[in-house]
Amino acid sequence: MLLLGALIGSFRRRGRGGRVFLLLALLLTLALAVLPVGGWLLLPLENRFPPPASLPEHIDGILVLGGSLDGEASAARGQPVLNDSAERLTAAVALAHAHPEARLIFSGGSSSIWPGQEPEARYVERLLLDLGVPPAQLTIESTSRTTQENAAHLTQLLGAQTQGNWVLVTSASHMPRAVGCFRHLGWQVIPYPVDYRTEGKGEPLKPIEPIAGFADLSVALHEWLGLVAYRIQGATDAWLPAP
């Protein structure tokens, strides 16, 4: 309402060109708030790699990418504070319990631009151990700050072992970009998408939920722009990696 009031006030004071611009801006804002634009953009990303019907009998390891923890809140509270991508961790724990022979490797450093913040991996390590993952099964990679670095640092860590059966756990919308980075380094991971934000068959019109809609739009734009940027940088071999 405050935004609407400000736009109306500006509308009255400006000339014809300014009024047209403000009107278009208002209509665009209302459309983004009412229509599931974020869901429409997320849908092709989340559907790109379907969940595996089954996993190989033997799994060498489970790779879990960071992004499921609020680093600043965790540092302030002194304990893991999860965000809305927490399913990456719950799925990883379930897989680790179901496949005790597989190594569970978490990759995630600090996302803060300020020095001195503890890497995400340190808080996640404590959480995974508390959830029953045996210390001998768990490996932590705490220097990666981006998806590209996740793939590069894990490849460096494991070397020739990357030729085995490795399950990659991350958010469904993030999976195309993540798979592209790993494939670029010659690593044929098994995608295990989680953390879905869409229903999978098209986003129906729902009661107005502007906050959730803008959150979905933010995630979608981040991933689409990330795909373009990584392709231009040569971090992936395709604009939209496919199964």
Q: Which of 10-14, 25-29, 75-79, 125-129 shows the lowest mean pLDDT across its residues?
A: 10-14
Q: Could you tell me if 64 and 109 lie in one domain?
A: yes
pLDDT the model gives residue 27: 66
Query: What is the separation of C-alpha 96 from the centre of its chain, rounded to a whole number of angstroms?
Result: 20
In a domain, 11, yes or no: yes
In angstroms, the CA 222 to CA 177 distance is 11
Whether 240 maps to a domain, the answer reads no
**Are residue 68 and residue 117 in the same domain, yes or no?**
yes
* Domain around 15: 2-34
Flag whether 143 is in a domain: yes
Q: Convert the pLDDT of each residue in 175-202 to its tens digit.
A: 999 999 999 999 999 999 999 999 887 6
Residue 90 sits in a domain of what CATH number? 3.40.50.620
CB-side neighbour CA atoms (13 Å) of 22 = 17
202 is a domain residue: no
The reply to whether 7 and 84 lie within a common domain is no
Please tell me whether residues 56 and 18 are part of one structural domain: no
C-beta neighbour count of 110 within 10 angstroms: 22
Shared domain for 72 and 191, answered yes or no, is: yes
- Domain shared by 124 and 218, yes or no: yes
123 and 155 inside one domain: yes
Cβ(184)–Cβ(236) under 8 Å? yes
pLDDT per residue over 142-163, tens digit each? 999 999 999 999 999 998 888 8
Using the structure block, give the residue that is written with the tokens 């999978």.
Answer: 200
Domains in the chain, number: 2
Q: Do residue 19 and residue 112 come from a single domain? A: no
Answer yes or no: is 103 within a domain: yes
Most confident segment among 13-17, 151-155, 210-214: 151-155
Domain assignment of residue 98, yes or no: yes
Q: How far apart are CA 128 and CA 241, in angstroms?
A: 30
The verdict on 21 and 113 lying in the same domain is no
What is the reported pLDDT for 212? 76
Computed on alpha carbons and rounded to an integer, the radius of gyration of the chain in Å comes to 21
Choose the most confident range, by mean pLDDT, from 24-33, 78-87, 142-151. 142-151
Same structural domain, 30 and 56 = no
Q: How far is CA 12 from CA 2, 21, 31, 113, in A?
A: 16, 13, 22, 42
In a domain, 239, yes or no: no
Q: How far lies 190's CA from each of 35, 67, 193, 198, 211, in Å?
A: 34, 19, 10, 22, 33
pLDDT band of residue 24 (cuts 50, 70, 90) is: confident
| Interval 109-131: pLDDT, tens | 876 666 667 788 899 999 999 99
Q: What is the pTM of this model?
A: 0.84
Same-domain status, 69 and 29: no
Q: What is the pLDDT of residue 2?
A: 44
Output the DSSP codes for 103-166: EEEEE-----SSTTPPPHHHHHHHHHHHTT--GGGEEEE----SHHHHHHHHHHHHGGGGGS-E
Residue 93 lies in a domain: yes
Q: Does 153 lie in the same domain as 66? A: yes
Structure confidence at residue 1 (pLDDT): 47
